[in-house]
Structure formats: structure tokens, C-alpha cells
Copies of this chain bind each other. A is one copy, B any other.
Amino acid sequence: MTPKLEDVAKLAAVSKTTVSRVLNNRGYLSQKTIDKVHAAMAQLDYHPNVVARQLYKNQTNLIGILLPSVANPFFGELTDTLERLLYQAGYKVLIGNSMNDPQKEAAYLNQLLSRQVDGLIVGTHNQHIQAYQNPGLPVVAIDRVMNEDIPVIASDNYQGGQLATTHLIDRGAKKIIHTNGPEDLKTPAQRRRSAYETTMVAHGLTPITYTVDFNIAPSAKKAVFRQIFQEHPDVEAVFAANDVDAALIQQVAGEFGRQVPQDLMIVGYDGTNLMREVLPNLTTIVQPIEAMSKMALQVLTQRINKEPTEKEYILPVKLWPGQTG
């Protein structure tokens, strides 16, 4: 005979309400009570019909997070923060690391369309996935422009570009080179380039931007950074696309006999807790990961509830003064 919820309550010597609260993870419960209920469930081989309940309610309480890779410090900290906030809001988190794999991203989107997740938070770098064109999808983008319909949460990349460039100019640098992603990739990060170029020109300086694909291997990135020193031996400062690249640039500078900051100033980007821990000397622009995550959750909730949203939510950044620039 299939065991019932009341059998579990009886064996665990608690009320049916308590069993239900354990199953739904709701209200205050002592660890002892949770353990008693779990033990009774196991002893009776009781399995609450959660999947059937999801079917009835037409919601899964699952949110998918699609990012290039959690092994990257920025996306790792972003995922960590989003997971914590989503869990507090009653959601569990599915992750998809879709670096270089548009087919994988399409599969996750398919999962959304087939109602296996309630919403998606997307910050991938893949292009041309048509299904995002369906209007009104419960999707928000982080630091990535998907299309006209999907709201974007981003930090103020223009302000970040201005802060970094002005900081380097104030410290005496004239020949400042910037690294950024491919221009055809529509990310708000392109506004850093625009801010850098505008600020340089406003100071009578010549902007030079090197394109570095985020997705390539460190050895390939280093090859591009060596080009900077070969083609511009008089470079005085680099404003890097992210902190990991900044670390690689510092290593390449060493190969060319350049000391940082005496012979070369470097400003990074992202300012995650991890990178500020392991490279505390790196001057960088700090993205507000906590605030961006909170905003993503809020806007996604509005989309799920079919409430109107803005096209874009821009949050302020700040400069972390280190010793590299």
C-alpha cells in the first residue's frame, strides 16, 4: 500500500501540518524535526508528489542562469549572489555554462519555452538565437543586449570607462591603450570603449583599442597583449577589459622588462571579491554585483508576473584604488 502523508506524520510523531511544512521548506523548523520527518519518509519510502503538484500549478520554481562559465571570477560571484537571492525568494537555480556553445544555449531556452523553468537570467556571449525574439518571455539579460524586448541589467559601463581613463590621465599617462571585446558583440561593455575614446579625444589624446575575444585561451590572449608592447613600445598605461586580463598584461609587461606601475600603469575591470583578495594591488573598476543581482531578481519577477519593465537598468560603479595605476 502506498504510504500517505498522515503515515509519515504518525511515524514521526508530528502533525500533518509539520510534515507539509518540511516538504515545502516553509516556516521555522528545528533540525531535529526535519530529521525526524526525513527518517520517517525514508522508512516508509514515502515520496511526495512534487512533480505532479508542479504540473497542477504550472510552475516549477526553477530559474535558469545562462552565463559563459562559473569558473570565471565575475560570473562565479554573480552566480553565487544570484543563487543566494533566488533561494531566499523560493527559487532553485539551474545553471548552463554556454561559453562558445549556442546550441546549448538554445536547448536551455527550449526548456523555458517548454515550461521546465519559470524564467531565465542570461549573460552569455552567443549571438543570433532566434527564439529570444518571442515577445514577453520571462527573461532578463545581464550585461548583454539580447533584443529590443528583453530588459538589460548592467553596471554603468560608460561611467566605468570614464573613471578608468580619467584616473590614468590624472596620474600622468598620455599613451593609454584599451582592450575590449569584439565590436560586433552587442554588450553594454562596448560603452566603456566609447567613454575611453571620448575622454581621450577630449584631452587631446589618441585612443587605441585592441580587440580581445573573452572566450579565447589565456595563451592566445597573451599573444595579443605582446602585440601591444611590440606595436606600441611607448605605451604608458593599459585599461584592461577585466581583472584576469589585467593580471595577464602585467605578466607580459614583465617579459618586456616593464615594472608596474613605474614603467606601465594598469587598470582592470570587475573588482570581484576574489580578485581583490588575491591581487589587492590591482587598481580596478568595481561592478556592483550584489545590486545587479537584486535588480535582476526584481525585474525577472515583474516579467514572470507579466508586469511592464524598463528596457535598461544601469547601476553605478566605483574605482578601487590599488598600486598598479
Chain A residue total in the interface (Cβ 8 A)? 72
Which of A115, A131, A278 has the most C-beta atoms of chain B within 10 angstroms of its own C-beta? A278
Using Cβ atoms and an 8 Å threshold, which residues of chain B touch A96? 83, 87, 92-93
**Most chain B beta-carbon neighbours within 10 Å: one of A76, A83, A103:** A76
- Whether A181 sits at the interface, judged by CB under 8 Å, is no
Looking at the assembled complex, report how far the CB atom of A87 sits from the nearest CB atom of chain B, in whole angstroms: 7
Known contacts A35-B131, A71-B77, A134-B38; is-contact A95 B97 (Cβ 8 Å): no
A244/B23 contact (C-beta < 8 A), A51-B51, A60-B51, A95-B95 known = no
Q: How far is the CA of A77 from the CA of B99 in the complex (A)?
A: 14
A297 interface residue per 8 A CB criterion: no
The residues of B that contact A93 with a CB separation of less than 8 Å are 94-96
Contact among B50, B84, B110, B115 for A97, CB-based, below 8 A: B84
Question: How would you classify the secondary structure of chain A's contact residues: helix, strand, loop or mixed?
Answer: helix
Residue A14 interfacial (CB < 8 Å): no
Task: Check if A232 is an interface residue, CB within 8 A of chain B.
Answer: no
Chain B contacts of A108 at CB under 8 A? 92
A-B contact pairs, 24 of them (CB 8 A): A31-B128, A35-B129, A35-B130, A38-B130, A41-B113, A42-B134, A47-B114, A47-B115, A50-B114, A51-B55, A51-B60, A62-B94, A70-B79, A71-B73, A72-B274, A73-B274, A92-B111, A93-B96, A218-B277, A244-B274, A247-B277, A247-B278, A248-B277, A248-B278
Other than A35-B129, A35-B131, A244-B274, give 20 A-B pairs with Cβ distance below 8 A: A25-B110, A31-B103, A38-B106, A38-B113, A39-B131, A39-B134, A70-B83, A71-B79, A73-B274, A83-B95, A83-B97, A84-B97, A87-B104, A92-B108, A93-B96, A95-B95, A244-B278, A247-B277, A247-B279, A278-B278
